[in-house]
Amino acid sequence: MKNVIVVNGSARCERGVTALLLAPFIEGIREAGAEVELIYPIRYHIKPCTGEFHCWYEKPGSCYIKDDMQDLYPELRGADILVLGMPVYIPLPGAMQSFLNRLCPLIEPLLETRRGRTRARLREDVRLSRLALVTVSGWWEKGNCGTAVRVAKELAADMSIRYAGALLRPHGSFILHHGEPTDAGRRVLDAARKAGGELIEKGDFSRAVRREVSRPLVPRGELRTRYNWAYSDSNRPPVKSDQESGT
Ligand SMILES: Cc1cc2nc3c(=O)[nH]c(=O)nc-3n(C[C@H](O)[C@H](O)[C@H](O)COP(=O)(O)O)c2cc1C
């Protein structure tokens, strides 16, 4: 049975749009017969990497920082697939960044050049063979997810494992209206479930499922108007009630 670790980097945990998309995605993975562990880095005590390369040259494969990451290393070593659930926070949520930096002990710095780039690889005791990305952004275009895609691709290449592809969900908050999925939003969530199954059954995501997850949910102009309205509304001076103003 395949083991999948899904990392939800959102600071909003279950309340976030990343969690909304990951829920059916994880169901799809489980329906396809794999085991899933879901972790929220913000709920762990994960200190930032101190950049000493202790895990590469002093005590290879072992991080000297004694915090919750020590509990996660065995799980990460034993998983087959790593899924990064990465919301765009210009560029990443802080806890996610620390988590990614602290993956360094899993990587062996035996360097080689591939396609004009210097790359490392995973240590032999790390089972991971694939990395996939599920990313959510607030604004309209898929291009807002570009940095997350770059980060995930770079990490897969530096681990020398297969990049299984990405589900990009721009303007993700429009999946819901008054707390319920719209018709289009429901199609996005159904596609996310299908994508979870595909990841296990064929190792990546079909173009059809990727397109459906990314489908526009609202015209670009309408999104701009709604965001700008919410902003200007929140900055309007509060209107005093008759009682407060004494009239
Ligand atoms: C600090 C911060 C920076 C953000 N930067 C961007 C951005 O550059 N582009 C974008 O499209 N959305 C941006 N967003 C919007 C988030 O991607 C969006 O709210 C998303 O739903 C967050 O996922 P979550 O709800 O799971 O936390 C930003 C949000 C935060 C909190």
- Residue 190 is predicted with a pLDDT of 98
Any domain includes 244: no
Q: What is the pLDDT of residue 247?
A: 33
User: Which atom of ligand 1 lies nearest, measured to the CA of 8?
Assistant: 26
Q: Kindly report the protein residue whose alpha carbon is nearest to atom 25 of ligand 1.
A: 16
The pLDDT, as a whole number, for residue 237 is: 64
| 85 Cα–ligand 1 center, Å | 13
In total, how many domains does the chain have? 1
The minimum-distance atom of ligand 1 relative to the CA of 12 is 27
The answer to whether residue 105 is domain-embedded is yes
Could you tell me the residue range of the domain that residue 151 belongs to? 3-220
- The answer to the question of residue 246 being in a domain is no
Could you tell me the distance, in angstroms and rounded to a whole number, from the CA of residue 87 to the centre of ligand 1?
Answer: 6
Tens digits of pLDDT across the chain (247 residues): 999 999 999 999 999 999 999 999 999 999 999 999 999 999 999 999 999 999 999 999 999 999 999 999 999 999 999 999 999 999 999 999 999 999 999 999 999 999 999 999 999 999 999 999 999 999 999 999 999 999 999 999 999 999 999 999 999 999 999 999 999 999 999 999 999 999 999 999 999 999 999 999 999 999 999 999 999 878 766 655 544 433 3
Residue list, ligand 1 pocket, CB within 6 Å: 10-12, 16-18, 87-90, 136-139, 144, 172-173
- For residue 117, what pLDDT is reported? 97
Ligand 1 centroid, distance to 171 Cα (angstroms): 9
| Residue 149 falls inside a structural domain | yes
Closest atom, ligand 1, to C-alpha of 139: 11
Q: What is the pTM of this model?
A: 0.94
Whether residue 110 is contained in a domain is answered as: yes
pLDDT for the residue numbered 12: 98
Whether 236 is covered by a domain: the verdict is no
Q: Answer yes or no: is 226 within a domain.
A: no
User: Ligand 1 mean position to 245 CA, how many Å?
Assistant: 38
Specify the CATH number for the domain of residue 10: 3.40.50.360
Biggest CA-to-CA distance, the chain: 77
Name the residue at shortest CA distance from atom 8 of ligand 1. Answer: 90
